[in-house]
Amino acid sequence: MAESHVVSGLVAKRGELAGEAERYRREWQRLTDELGHLDATIRLFDPDYDLGGIRPRQRRRGQRWFGPGECQRLVLEILRDAAEPLSDQGVTVAVATRKGLQDRPEALAALQKTTLAVLRRLVGKGAARAAGLADGVRARERT
């Protein structure tokens, strides 16, 4: 015979999931209605427009630690204040320290990707340049 507390827990979880599914059904319906309105408006302006050729776009999730342009400004400040070229890892650690993320290892991997992308962009713009350190590690410095 099943334990009554197990069954009641499963019933509660099912009710929670059913409520969430209903919320998503309503959201799906709202979005479908909005798409229908947009399609009708497009057809008003161009009745022959191929609506099937419009590709869905994915919404990008932004970095949650930085405001617009903040990471680039931090990297430029760090490179400017450095007495010598910094390794890519050194720049990442410096950014993590300034943002208070140095004690969160799960954040460091994503932060490293972000800072490396900023460094590549700055090198491409000519605002920084790649240099080599004595031990063969790639480093960056401000131009």
When computed from its CA atoms, the radius of gyration of the chain, rounded to whole angstroms, is 25
Look at residue 133 in the predicted model and tell me its pLDDT.
58
Encode pLDDT of 63-111 as tens digits. Answer: 678 888 898 999 999 989 888 888 888 899 899 899 888 888 778 888 8
Return the amino acid letter for 2. Answer: A
Encode pLDDT of 37-53 as tens digits. Answer: 999 999 999 999 999 99
Look at residue 67 in the predicted model and tell me its pLDDT.
84
Look at residue 39 in the predicted model and tell me its pLDDT.
96
Query: What is the DSSP pairing of strand 86-87 with strand 128-132?
Result: unpaired
Overall fold of domain 70-142: Arc Repressor Mutant, subunit A (1.10.10)
DSSP code, position 1: -
Residues 89 and 116: their CA atoms lie apart, in Å, by 9
Return the amino acid letter for 29. Answer: Q
Name the 3-class secondary structure at 60.
coil
Residues 75 and 138: their CA atoms lie apart, in Å, by 16
Q: Is the pLDDT of residue 27 over 60?
A: yes
pTM of the model: 0.54
